[in-house]
Structure 1
């Protein structure tokens, strides 16, 4: 359930979304882990490439994310979400970076089997109420930005 400081206007809807998220996570994150591991192996052997999206380049500056930290999460982080809708496979990777070991999420999409693109990265502490204490599990699905 939500751990935010605001009153949830739709607690049942938020809980239903969380339950759906938990079911999908249990089913799809293991698949995402295998995909991520295989891609890293292919990257290390020079058989795969990763590109940085234009949106990411803008957000890196706005959010003070450096390329070293981004790549650290890419190579050493772990999959916390895997989504597949009508578009490409999307993974949300999690890792701790920097001298103070703050959390960082990195979103990547598969363009082809041997090519992925980094879409964005963000510090989940900026929306801490949406995440578990270690920032690897979504706990709130409210959209407070729309409420204020």
Structure 2
């Protein structure tokens, strides 16, 4: 009896995954759908790990006072906010090509850029930040 109940509960829990039901994006997520593919525009755990591994050696070699040398004082830097456009005067740097090629692929209208010590995914048309990886120096 218990084994039957366990099988029924397990089948009920796995049913959506087994029949291929797709859940919609959660609030704040961006999903791009096409008849041929569907992509969620976010940093995956793999992307986050690769970005931290890439930038960590660059900041570990610096003495404590120099780690913050490239940062602007609070209030002077443009604040990056999720689901908000990036200010047109903010200085954007593209991720290094070697790193960008190792990360998950983005739809054509999205790009990963570095703003200060943050890495963001933004829409190239609207400049809206769709995902944010804060302070890559930590």
TM-score (norm 2): 0.29
Query: Which structure has the larger Rg over C-alpha atoms?
Result: 2
Structure with higher strand content: 1
Structure with higher helix content: 1
TM-score (norm 1): 0.28
